[in-house]
């Protein structure tokens, strides 16, 4: 384990003025995205979808990292250049999603745990040798009556901690992503409590597994009322609740915090990030790691047509600029 390499990489992931693009949809998710756009779900179209973003020139001005999926980690652009090489040539770090999706936890109310620990050490070594600098593991936590449960928090926190430890042993920085879901009709107060309990469970396990926190990045959801809730909450209140929650439980040694968009409308995610940035300085560096909130505006223009690539990339770059501005608290909508 190269502590200095890990620490340096972790700091680069959350370096100020840039973010991380989550281009790591699983095959079913990527296929669903294509089908919703009226595009046939094939490997070639998944490759074209990813090239739309990876092939945009100059995105190193806005991104510290891009997270890939196993398929895209091995793919090339239309002229045969590996995606990993294109990303690195932009000065961007390469990330890889290593969990294998979620399955139900028996005897719970719809709670799930993430699969993927099998052969993870060997997979991580292969990804490192292939150019990966960091990895990501996502666990999900819905909010409801008596959930997240202790069982769901325990099993997922154990997996996240073991994953993080294995990453560090392979000189890959772990991005730990316990996502408290935005679905449902819960209030912001219920979201606060759920997020607090989940993060406490995760950091207790990280400590038990002796994971180096200064070589680790947390990727977390914002504290939000559920999308089906009638509760009206200001952007500023969401930012304050989010940071209050994180300050209570996230140790200052953590290299940084990435915020996920979690299904928010792109403009809402950007506005909330903007308000969070206004609360700096914070105990850790904060940045964005959005997927849909960055990709969707460009995808709506592209829709699988080559003649739309140029216009879609202009919108993609504009979306990146907006989020970089928000990361500095300077976004004007």
pLDDT digits (tens, 9 = 90+) for 25-63: 999 999 999 999 999 999 999 999 999 999 999 999 999
CA distances to 99, 104, 176, 195 from 144, rounded to whole Å, are 24, 15, 23, 12
Phi-psi region of 250 (alpha: psi -120 to 50; beta: other; left: phi over 0): beta
The tens digit of pLDDT for each residue in 179-238 reads: 999 898 999 999 999 999 999 999 999 999 999 999 999 999 999 999 999 999 999 999
* Dist. CA 55–CA 50, nearest whole Å: 8
pLDDT-derived band of residue 99, with 50, 70 and 90 as boundaries? very high
Q: What sign does the dihedral 310-312-317-318 (CA atoms) show?
A: positive
Q: Is the pLDDT at 135 greater than 90, yes or no? A: yes
Taking only the tens place, the pLDDT of each residue in 282-325 is 999 999 999 999 999 999 999 999 999 999 999 999 999 999 99
| CATH number corresponding to 3-327 | 3.20.20.70
User: Residue by residue, what is the 3-state secondary structure of 186-253?
Assistant: CCHHHHHHHHHHHHHHHHHHHHHCCCCHHHCEEEECCCCCCCCCCCCCCHHHHHHHHHHHHHHHCCCC
The DSSP line for 139-187 is EEE--BTTBS-HHHHHHHHHHHHHHHHHHHHTT-EEEEEEEEP--SS--
Contact 327, 19 (CB under 8 A): yes
Number of C-alpha atoms within 13 angstroms, CB side, residue 115? 6
Query: How far does the chain reach from its first CA to its final CA, in angstroms?
Result: 45
The confidence band for 112, taking pLDDT boundaries of 50, 70 and 90, is very high
pLDDT > 90 fraction of the chain, expressed in percent and rounded? 96
| Residue that wins the pLDDT comparison between 1 and 56 | 56
For residues 55-72, give the mean pLDDT.
Answer: 97
In the residue annotation, 177 being an active-site residue is answered as yes
Residue 149 has what pLDDT?
96
pTM comes to 0.96
Give me the pLDDT at residue 109, please. Answer: 87
Instruction: Give burial (CB, 10 Å; 0-12/13-18/19+) of 306.
Output: exposed
Catalytic residue among 219, 271, 285, 291: 219
Q: Output the six-digit token pair for 20.
A: 């991380």
- Identify the active-site residue in 177, 190, 285, 295: 177
Q: Are 184 and 228 within 8 A, CB to CB?
A: yes
Strand partners, 174: 135
Mean pLDDT (the chain) is 96
- Using pLDDT thresholds of 50, 70 and 90, give the confidence band for residue 239: very high
Q: Does 19 score more than 90 pLDDT? A: yes
pLDDT at 238: 97
Backbone angles phi, psi at 316, to 5 degrees: -55, -45
pLDDT score, position 319 = 97
pLDDT over 80 at 333, yes or no: no
Residue 39 DSSP label: -
pLDDT band at 263 (very low <50, low <70, confident <90, very high): confident
Cα atoms in the Cβ-side hemisphere of radius 13 Å centred on 18? 19
């Amino acid at each position: 384990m190269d502590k200095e390499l890990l620490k340096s990489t972790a700091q680069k992931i959350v370096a100020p003025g840039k973010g991380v693009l989550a281009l790591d949809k699983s095959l079913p998710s990527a296929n669903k995205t294509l089908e919703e756009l009226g595009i046939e779900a094939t490997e070639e179209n998944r490759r074209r979808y990813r090239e739309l973003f990876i092939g945009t020139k100059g995105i190193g001005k806005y991104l510290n990292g891009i997270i890939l999926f196993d398929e895209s980690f091995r793919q090339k652009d239309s002229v045969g250049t590996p995606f990993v090489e294109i990303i690195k040539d932009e000065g961007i770090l390469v990330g890889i999603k290593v969990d294998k999706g979620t399955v139900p936890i028996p005897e719970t109310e719809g709670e799930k745990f993430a699969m993927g620990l099998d052969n993870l050490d060997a997979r991580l070594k292969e990804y490192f040798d292939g150019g990966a600098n960091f990895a990501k593991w996502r666990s999900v936590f819905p909010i409801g009556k008596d959930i997240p449960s202790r069982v769901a928090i325990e099993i997922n926190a154990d997996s996240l901690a073991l994953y993080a430890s294995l990453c560090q042993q392979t000189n890959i920085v772990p991005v730990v992503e316990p996502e408290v879901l935005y679905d449902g009709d819960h209030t912001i107060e219920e979201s606060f409590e759920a997020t607090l309990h989940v993060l406490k469970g995760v950091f207790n396990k990280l400590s038990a597994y002796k994971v180096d926190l200064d070589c680790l990045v947390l990727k977390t959801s914002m504290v939000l009322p559920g999308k089906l809730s009638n509760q009206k909450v200001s952007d500023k209140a969401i930012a304050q609740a989010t940071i209050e929650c994180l300050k209570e439980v996230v140790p200052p040694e953590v290299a940084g915090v990435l915020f996920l968009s979690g299904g928010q409308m792109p403009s809402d995610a950007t506005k909330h990030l903007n308000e969070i940035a206004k609360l700096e300085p914070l105990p850790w560096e904060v940045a964005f790691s959005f997927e849909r909130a960055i990709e969707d505006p460009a995808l709506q223009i592209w829709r699988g047509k080559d003649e739309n690539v140029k216009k879609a990339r202009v919108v993609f770059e504009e979306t990146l600029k907006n989020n970089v501005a928000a990361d500095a608290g300077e976004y004007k909508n």
